[in-house]
Structure 1
């Protein structure tokens, strides 16, 4: 590069010197030669003047020399022009090289932000080597020793099982500092399971919200992967609604609080994460409840950044009964797909029914299909409410919640509200002490559901 700069700076000087000399030689002004020629005596002048044939011969030779000098000037001009063109070409190539290298460095810089933002996922590829993941907030998701998890779960004894998922079980464990945690074990024998593990650890390490589950660490052992979360003592919403207690611990206001917490978690994913996070598998089993029945979203294995993909480059995933029709039929996935699933969860809270129920061995019925005609009929709606909470709410509030659910489960995505709008609709229905704005008077008698 230094040599190129030297040539560019010094060659024009060398090229210009011969041209100046030639111009001086070919100048038709006699005065230009006087200064450099020796002075002639008067006698020599007169003798030269008397030698006329020599003067004529000298003039012919001078014309011949001038003609050759003209040719030399033309040749030098052409050579200089060619050299200048070569230099300009080299300069152009140099600048093009610099510009391209600058672009490639920018391109690499765009690939780095995942690491700068805290998602160190490259070691997960292949055999998922042991790493530590640093979140955007600076907190560290620790790599935990497998032996520690084995010890604290009593060698993953079935008595410590909290629940089961598609790729494994969730176990209860107590760490050395007496901290109770939940350990999800994933049997990553397939590529899908490995991707879900990588995806969930990467996303949750950079998400911090009161209504999203907190990840504490992870571990690797052979083909098994382990994710450690905060323990949610009241299990999942599915267990509370459809388990042995059949929702008896969930009052009307508690159910509205759970709906509000879920909406807040989704709003964070949709509106405050950049890019938007689409959960893609929202359901009652993925809504966990702590000891105070605060709801938190969990299981981000299928979640994606920005839901603009179509079925050609995104594998169809989800749970029957919660999957939005446009995603199921056309592969179109947006944040409105999560809103649809939220509407189904809201119906579960309202009616106490599963999203899909078997009518016969080969026949199933969707809660959406069954409930939709009755949700908009005020005379029928009170009769289909979950018996556990029947006659325990203000009918106006019941109608409002039913209206929100109907909007969320609209077949056309554009007719569904944003989760922010859903959130604003639910806040006035939840008591202040549970996180809403409703002022509840203690002495409100139950409303007779037979009143139209």
Structure 2
């Protein structure tokens, strides 16, 4: 994850240290000297970012972090040329930065007259001008850097506005990774209507957090409960601001940063790995683009298309909507009136709409809020103001825009609907009540038959051996249906065969094509793996995971029924000289991104944290549009959200894709899957299989060959010769090779997370670290034998015995 912020590594820092933590009028801070906070947490001095050593900036950075992470820049738009800069403090409390020609480059005027001015850098990273003769903790400070943030929000800093002076606190991006001047993006608090925060590019809103709900903002990540940080919104007659602090360990280094591309990330320093990790990305995916779906519509990134109208609404411009232009949003099917005949439909699990045109009250309860909304003809919806106790009233008086589906948000939104819509809801509710009544009557009769059917159920369960129905949650197919669909498992219908058994193509009576995975009696993967796959895949839903349609467990037959993938598996194309020409560079890149997103869902976004343990080319299926779908969860393991790694005595996987720590010691983690992902990325680039790769100059596998080329500056030679040079961008290819090598580094802690991989591959502005030596960088003996070009679904099996 540190790769996202490694550009700070190039910052040139001074080598000497100023003796005291205080600057007084009779002292000057010159270039080459620094001021250090009392506990040595932060350092103030001059630095040069990246490749522009002639430009010098006055800044604050972390003293204890060797990477020199800058958190504040004074003269970000006015660099000092050369090493002639000096910071001086006037007796009246004005900080002045001058260059070698005694020209003022930057200054900071004190807000009050100070008798005995001095400057101190605090351990929170705040540069303060104060009166030595003053009293109290602030010693009558006249100026502080916390009031003038750069791109970073530290603990205790404010994002908001002083309502008395008009002073606004906001963070703005650097122009680039090596240029700290003011960039295009700004993160600021907006108090029009009810408070929310925006990321803006110029005057355009790029992202909205949604309104404050008493606990957090309602955007996709901020709404998740956490035990690390406390967020607060302070609103008084003098000021309104947002800030955050650590709940427990105040010594943890953490920061909120707006990147040059507008992405806002909350980062935490991990001392053990000496890396910054991303605690959360504020903008998660395309659904976080402000107003993507227009008014009265919600966005769901797992849907295609992602935008959908609210119930009772339809697209405003049907033609544009069908052409993927959703900005016009939706309109009502039935117009609302203005009175008691209207009603409300409850929406839950969504991000609250843009709240700039709202009315709110902390004293009005929810019942009164509903009544007031009905009486106001402009009111379109209402909700509670504070989700902690369900108090207050937030009333929308305009179109509802910028909503997305969020499973974590339990704040309801009550949307105004026409009387006819409410009447239809009541009819449906009445029908449901009748259906439930009939069902209950049937249940009573069914209970009388329970004893008679128990024996039959018991016999059926004995045939299923130890399979747990409750864990499987798998729709059942009968054997006759599956047999008919596959023409009695005809060889002509067989589309593949692996360690599990044969896979057949079938067509159900209604015309739906299916893939049937049939466990063979000789299979190395037995009942436990079958049950594992059914239990896991039935609970997972993602566009880059294969969809399980059902199971068949009759007699000795044990089968899984999946959606059919017309383009077979990835190894069917990438390792075949005649077929891999179909995989253009863009398709290969999209496949790599799709696999990464599917893996990110397994590791981070699903309700279970899952380590796949057998990620390889033959387990990546391709639909008719060559969209990748991860399959075969027979070896997958569920891990606790707080668990970092697991260990097994039985190592099962595929050589060439297994990470060193798993193959040798039986240790597996999300970083084991990252290693396999790196192998897949390098195979996609090269069109060569890692395990069977051979080269005339050495006996290394594909990883070793890629490492050798990288160190020689010839990484582009790795690309598949079947690709025309005009069909790919060399920079993009080399970047993918670098990401692949980062993933296959020997030490798990050196490898990035999948979230970092997605960010690094999808964002060309992110600078990447240099990879270290890959795992298994050992030459094979000259008589080593390889398998065929087509990736077999073979399993390697190792029993780990105690020493």
Same fold (TM > 0.5): yes
The CA distance in 2 between the partners of 1:216 and 1:182, in whole Å, is 9
1:375 corresponds in structure 2 to 710
Identify which of 725, 729, 752 aligns with 1:417. Answer: 752
For the Cα contact (< 8 Å) 2:648–2:667, is it kept in 1?
yes
Q: How far does residue 358 in structure 1 lie from its aligned partner after superposition? A: 6.5
Identify which of 449, 454, 464 aligns with 1:128. Answer: 464
3-state SS in 1 of match to 2:526: helix
For the Cα contact (< 8 Å) 2:613–2:635, is it kept in 1?
yes
Q: How far does residue 125 in structure 1 lie from its aligned partner after superposition? A: 7.8
1:255 corresponds in structure 2 to 588
Identify which of 254, 269, 274 aligns with 2:602. Answer: 269
2:635 corresponds in structure 1 to 302
The CA distance in 1 between the partners of 2:471 and 2:709, in whole Å, is 47
1:335 corresponds in structure 2 to 670
Q: Deviations over 1:373-397 (max 9, x none)?
A: 113433x222231012251321111
2:683 counterpart of 1:348? yes
The CA distance in 2 between the partners of 1:422 and 1:161, in whole Å, is 36
The CA distance in 1 between the partners of 2:630 and 2:514, in whole Å, is 16
Q: How far does residue 246 in structure 1 lie from its aligned partner after superposition? A: 3.7
The CA distance in 1 between the partners of 2:670 and 2:527, in whole Å, is 25
Alignment of 1:51-200 (within 5 A): 127-128=463-464, 141-188=474-521, 192-200=525-533
1:191 to 1:242, Cα distance in 2 relative to 1, 3 A = closer
Q: How far does residue 345 in structure 1 lie from its aligned partner after superposition? A: 0.3
2:648 counterpart of 1:311? yes
1:125 to 1:301, Cα distance in 2 relative to 1, 3 A = farther
The CA distance in 1 between the partners of 2:553 and 2:762, in whole Å, is 42
The CA distance in 2 between the partners of 1:280 and 1:123, in whole Å, is 35
3-state SS in 2 of match to 1:317: strand
RMSD, matched Cα: 2.7
For the Cα contact (< 8 Å) 1:219–1:227, is it kept in 2?
yes
2:226 corresponds in structure 1 to none
For the Cα contact (< 8 Å) 1:189–1:223, is it kept in 2?
no
1:148 to 1:365, Cα distance in 2 relative to 1, 3 A = farther
1:387 corresponds in structure 2 to 721
Answer 1 or 2: which has greater strand percent: 2
1:281 to 1:270, Cα distance in 2 relative to 1, 3 A = same
3-state SS in 1 of match to 2:551: strand
The CA distance in 2 between the partners of 1:273 and 1:188, in whole Å, is 33
Q: How far does residue 126 in structure 1 lie from its aligned partner after superposition? A: 5.8
The CA distance in 2 between the partners of 1:370 and 1:195, in whole Å, is 38
Q: How far does residue 179 in structure 1 lie from its aligned partner after superposition? A: 0.1
Identify which of 213, 216, 219 aligns with 2:549. Answer: 216
> Which is worse superposed, 212-221 or 319-328?
212-221
For the Cα contact (< 8 Å) 1:132–1:143, is it kept in 2?
no
1:426 corresponds in structure 2 to 761
For the Cα contact (< 8 Å) 2:493–2:504, is it kept in 1?
yes
3-state SS in 1 of match to 2:506: strand
For the Cα contact (< 8 Å) 2:499–2:523, is it kept in 1?
no
The CA distance in 2 between the partners of 1:124 and 1:401, in whole Å, is 51
The CA distance in 1 between the partners of 2:622 and 2:712, in whole Å, is 32
1:222 to 1:248, Cα distance in 2 relative to 1, 3 A = same
TM-score by length of 1: 0.62
2:736 corresponds in structure 1 to 401
For the Cα contact (< 8 Å) 2:655–2:691, is it kept in 1?
yes
3-state SS in 2 of match to 1:357: coil
For the Cα contact (< 8 Å) 1:252–1:393, is it kept in 2?
yes
2:559 corresponds in structure 1 to 226
1:157 to 1:263, Cα distance in 2 relative to 1, 3 A = same
3-state SS in 2 of match to 1:383: helix
Q: How far does residue 403 in structure 1 lie from its aligned partner after superposition? A: 0.9
Name the larger-Rg structure.
1
1:124 to 1:351, Cα distance in 2 relative to 1, 3 A = farther
1:323 corresponds in structure 2 to 658
1:385 to 1:188, Cα distance in 2 relative to 1, 3 A = same
Answer 1 or 2: which has greater helix percent: 1
Using CA pairs under 8 Å that are at least 6 residues apart, name the structure with larger relative contact order, 1 or 2.
1
Structure 2 unaligned regions, length at least 5: 1-457, 765-803
For the Cα contact (< 8 Å) 1:217–1:227, is it kept in 2?
yes
The CA distance in 1 between the partners of 2:534 and 2:460, in whole Å, is 10
2:341 corresponds in structure 1 to none
The CA distance in 2 between the partners of 1:283 and 1:397, in whole Å, is 23
For the Cα contact (< 8 Å) 1:265–1:296, is it kept in 2?
yes
1:178 to 1:381, Cα distance in 2 relative to 1, 3 A = same
2:573 corresponds in structure 1 to 240
The CA distance in 2 between the partners of 1:413 and 1:130, in whole Å, is 36
The CA distance in 2 between the partners of 1:305 and 1:356, in whole Å, is 28
Alignment length, in residue pairs? Answer: 300
For the Cα contact (< 8 Å) 1:280–1:338, is it kept in 2?
yes
Q: Deviations over 1:183-210 (max 9, x none)?
A: 0011256784111110001101100111
3-state SS in 1 of match to 2:652: coil
Q: How far does residue 364 in structure 1 lie from its aligned partner after superposition? A: 7.8
> Which is worse superposed, 228-237 or 390-399?
390-399
1:213 to 1:123, Cα distance in 2 relative to 1, 3 A = farther
1:198 to 1:125, Cα distance in 2 relative to 1, 3 A = farther
1:260 to 1:133, Cα distance in 2 relative to 1, 3 A = farther
3-state SS in 1 of match to 2:667: coil
